[in-house]
Amino acid sequence: MAKKKTKFVCQSCGYESVKWVGKCPNCNEWNTMVEFIEAPPSSRRLTFQTNASAEGASPKSIMEVEIGTETRILTDFQEFNRVLGGGVVLGSLVLIGGDPGIGKSTMLLQVSSQLAKNDNRVLYVSGEESQKQIKLRAERLGILTPNLFVLSETDLTYVAKYMEDMNPDFVVIDSIQTIHLPDVTSAPGSVSQVRECTSELMRLAKTKGIPIFIVGHVTKEGAIAGPRMLEHMVDAVLYFEGERHHTYRILRAVKNRFGSTNEMGIFEMKEQGLVEVLNPSEIFLEERPFGVAGSTVVASMEGTRPVLVELQALVSPTSFGNARRMATGIDHNRVSLIMAVLEKRVGLLLQNQDAYLKVAGGLKLDEPAVDLAVAVSIASSFQDKPTQPTDVVVGEIGLTGEVRRVSRIEQRVQEAAKLGFHRAIIPAKNIGGWTFPEGVEVIGVNSVQEALRIVLGG
Query: CB-side exposure of 289: number of CA atoms within 13 Å?
Result: 8
DSSP letters spanning 23-60: B-TTT--BS-EEEEEEPPPPHHHHHHHHHHHHTSPPP-
pLDDT in tens, the chain (458 residues): 556 678 888 877 778 888 899 998 888 888 888 887 765 554 444 334 434 444 456 888 988 888 777 778 999 999 999 999 889 999 999 999 988 888 999 999 999 999 999 999 999 999 999 999 999 999 999 999 999 999 999 999 999 999 999 999 999 999 898 999 988 877 788 787 888 899 999 999 999 999 999 998 887 666 676 666 788 889 999 999 887 667 888 898 989 998 887 788 889 998 889 999 888 888 888 888 888 999 999 999 987 889 999 999 999 999 877 889 999 999 999 999 999 999 999 999 999 999 999 998 778 898 999 999 999 999 999 999 999 999 999 999 999 999 999 999 999 999 999 999 999 999 999 998 899 999 999 999 999 999 999 999 85
The stretches of 286-388 forming alpha helices (DSSP H) are 332-341, 371-383
Burial of 58 (0-12, 13-18, 19+ CB in 10 A): exposed
Q: Does 458 carry a binding-site annotation?
A: no
Cα 333 to chain center, whole Å?
Answer: 21
CA nearest neighbour of 277 among 446, 80, 144, 33? 80
The stretches of 261-326 forming alpha helices (DSSP H) are 280-285
Paired strand residues for 317: 353
Burial of 419 (0-12, 13-18, 19+ CB in 10 A): middle
Would strands 122-126 and 88-89 be described as parallel, antiparallel, or unpaired?
unpaired
Cα 209 from Cα 263, distance rounded (Å): 25
State the average pLDDT for the chain. Answer: 87
pLDDT in tens, 200-229: 999 999 999 999 999 988 876 666 766 667
Task: Give the type of residue at 458.
Answer: G
Q: Does 102 carry a binding-site annotation?
A: yes
Q: Does 100 carry a binding-site annotation?
A: yes
CB distance 9 to 34 below 8 Å: yes
Q: Does 103 carry a binding-site annotation?
A: yes
Distance in angstroms between the alpha carbons of the first and the last residue of the chain: 84
pLDDT in tens, 297-348: 999 998 788 999 999 999 999 987 788 999 999 999 999 999 999 999 999 9
CB distance 37 to 3 below 8 Å: no
Contacts of 432 (CB under 8 A, 6+ apart): none
- Collapsing DSSP to helix, strand or coil, 385 comes out as coil
- In CATH terms, 71-278 corresponds, of 3.40.50.300, 3.40.50.880, 3.30.1280.10, 3.40.1410.10, to 3.40.50.300
Q: Does 183 carry a binding-site annotation?
A: no
Q: Does 165 carry a binding-site annotation?
A: no
Cα 371 from Cα 367, distance rounded (Å): 8
Classified by CATH at the fold level, domain 282-456 comes out as Ribosomal Protein S5; domain 2 (3.30.230)
